[in-house]
Structure 1
Amino acid sequence: MTRRTVSVERIPVPDPASGPYAVAAGPDGALWCTLVHTGGIARLTPDGRLDVHRLDSATCGPSVITPGPDGALWFTRYQDHRIGRVTPDGRTTAFSLPTPESGPFGITCASDGALWFTQTRTDRIGRVTVDGRVTEFPLPVTGSFPSAITAGPDGALWFTLNQANAIGRISLDGDIALHPLPTEGTAPVGITCGADGALWFVGIGAGLVGRVTVDGRVTEFALPDRACRPHAITTGPDGTLWFTEWGAGRVGSIGPDGRVEEHDLPVPSSEPHGLAFGPDGALYVALEIGELARLEP
């Protein structure tokens, strides 16, 4: 393991208490960020301009955001149990879900042209079309807390089951398979599709990064600081996996061979959550202290 201090540009959001949470690169060449505590979506342009689009509820809890197939950004509204949509010019809409109090959290775009999302409180995976039609798929477990979700290389959707200590897979027609994790208390959260054709995830409970193949074989890589509480993970342009260490105020990286590097952020208590690579090749990290961090790996 190598510990490094990287050059970080700190970009504050207008309200430090707004809680930047997740980041996604938009089709318009901008970075989009959810503001979980104040009900807003921030847009950061390559020239550094940051605008905030206020949603219809300050307490709706916008959480994870992803580009959709329609040129808009789609996001989950964890607190008021809806799916949101925002266009590049800031027009917003929201779609209600059939199951009350479902707690949608992770969301991703699939090869069928729909958005798929997790429902943390009701053990379901949801699917919403761009015109707002919702289908729900119950999971075969209870109390599993499905969290992040990503499109896999096999055309299926892969997701973490935070409280069931497993990785799930759902096909486009709704067939579900669960893959238990070897380490008890892993509590997986973030998941991404790697450049090697496998799925990579982080275990916030056990301080590890994991890899699961499409046939369900799991490999785990223990992090040097098992208490760092890794939260989100994304794949870089060169195939390196990058992840946030929420409990330690760091950003980590791991190669396909399992070699780990850790990068200190300027503020140790910055609470890094989501992260994404921008069109400029830089890594953007949402810091709950009210900033976006820009790193050039």
Structure 2
Amino acid sequence: MQFDEITVPGKGPYGITAGPDGRMWATLVHDGQIARVGDAVEVFDLDPGCGPAVITPGPDGALWFSRLHDHRIGRITVDGTASSFTVPSPDAGPYGITTGPDGALWFTEMNLDRIGRIDGDGGVHEIPLGLEGCFASTIVTGGDGALWVTLNQADAIARVTVDGEVTTFPLPTEKAAPVGIARGDDGAVWFVEIGAGQIGRITPDGDVTEFPLPDRAARPHAITPDGEGGCWFTEWGASRLGHVGPDGGFEHFAFPAPGSEPHGLAVAPDGSLWVALEIGSVAVLRP
């Protein structure tokens, strides 16, 4: 398997997603910038210390992202015009973000055990998850029309309806520390357990299956569906790309540079897989 690598003129490619313009958009968490990556790379400046982390396409044709360090939610249009919105609670630590089933943007607040909802005008509503110290990490809209959230320090997955009803599903493995989460092609939600070195799958009614990685110290971080019933995931601790099939079978592929620190990943409209490498590049796996 051959990766192409594109150097990004900035520190810390972290989150990445496909934009409505057919290009890939990445956060540069250490430089406070957003990069648009294709045949060429364009970089758009934000506040240097804002810490852009996870990025997602919004329903309005713009890209929305969390600003972890200055506790704001950012928005950038495809022409590079950026704006941001304050999260009402101080030091909230927004991190994961997704477009919800109601057309709003939903995000996690890692420091406050809450999730938030922001509409297109910047109005924010916060929902407590009911577990102290749960460290809500990433969030995705499931096929059932609810929001699904990894609770990293509670070793659990939460399901939250758009009306704010919270149901928590404890994971079978202690110190699982779930982080990345994605809506699978099979109607379930898939997630990674960075602490236990496992990939998990949870059905809409809360049935959990865990698949132990061959290398339990690989530190899986982010996950995305492959369009064929399986998922791709990054192994941050092992500098590898992983793939899990519908039956739990694994494949693993090393990145060319050791210590690449792979984080976010996303599939482009043409089927290529893009991975943000915090060392300063984006890896591309062509179909």
Question: TM-score per shorter chain, which class?
Answer: over 0.9
Matched, 1:9 2:7: no
Partner of 2:88: 98
1:65-80 residue pairs with structure 2 within 5 A?
A: 65-80=55-70
Partner of 2:160: 170
CA contact (8 A) 1:198 1:214 kept: yes
Whole-angstrom distance in 1 between the partners of 2:93 and 2:61: 25
**What displacement does 1:14 show?**
1.1
1:111 corresponds to which letter in structure 2?
P
Whole-angstrom distance in 2 between the partners of 1:182 and 1:239: 23
Matched, 1:279 2:283: no
Partner of 1:85: 75
**What displacement does 1:268 show?**
2.3
CA contact (8 A) 1:161 1:188 kept: yes
With the length of structure 2 as denominator, give the TM-score of the two structures: 0.99
Whole-angstrom distance in 2 between the partners of 1:31 and 1:219: 32
Q: Give deviations 1:32-59, integer Å, cap 9, x for gaps.
A: 00000000000013xx11100001x101
Partner of 1:41: 34
1:50 corresponds to which letter in structure 2?
V
1:195-234 residue pairs with structure 2 within 5 A?
A: 195-234=185-224
Matched, 1:151 2:141: yes
With the length of structure 1 as denominator, give the TM-score of the two structures: 0.96
1:274 corresponds to which letter in structure 2?
G
CA contact (8 A) 1:250 1:268 kept: no
Whole-angstrom distance in 1 between the partners of 2:208 and 2:258: 31
Whole-angstrom distance in 1 between the partners of 2:6 and 2:21: 20
CA contact (8 A) 1:81 1:103 kept: yes
Whole-angstrom distance in 1 between the partners of 2:229 and 2:35: 27
**What displacement does 1:237 show?**
2.1
Whole-angstrom distance in 2 between the partners of 1:194 and 1:291: 27
Partner of 1:24: 17
2:72 corresponds to which letter in structure 1?
R
Count of residue pairs brought into register by the alignment: 287
**What displacement does 1:236 show?**
1.3
| Structure 2 segments unaligned to the other structure (5+ residues) | none
What is the RMSD of the two structures over their aligned residues, measured on CA atoms?
0.7
Whole-angstrom distance in 2 between the partners of 1:78 and 1:198: 28
CA contact (8 A) 1:146 1:162 kept: yes
User: 1:173 is paired with a residue of what secondary structure?
Assistant: coil
Matched, 1:252 2:247: no
**What displacement does 1:280 show?**
2.2
Structure scoring higher RCO (CA < 8 A, sep ≥ 6) equals 1
User: 1:142 is paired with a residue of what secondary structure?
Assistant: coil
Q: Give deviations 1:104-137, integer Å, cap 9, x for gaps.
A: 0000001211000000000111000011000000
Matched, 1:64 2:57: no
Match among 54, 64, 70 for residue 45 of structure 2: 54
2:19 corresponds to which letter in structure 1?
G
**What displacement does 1:239 show?**
2.4
Match among 115, 126, 139 for residue 129 of structure 2: 139
4+ residue segments displaced more than 2 Å: none
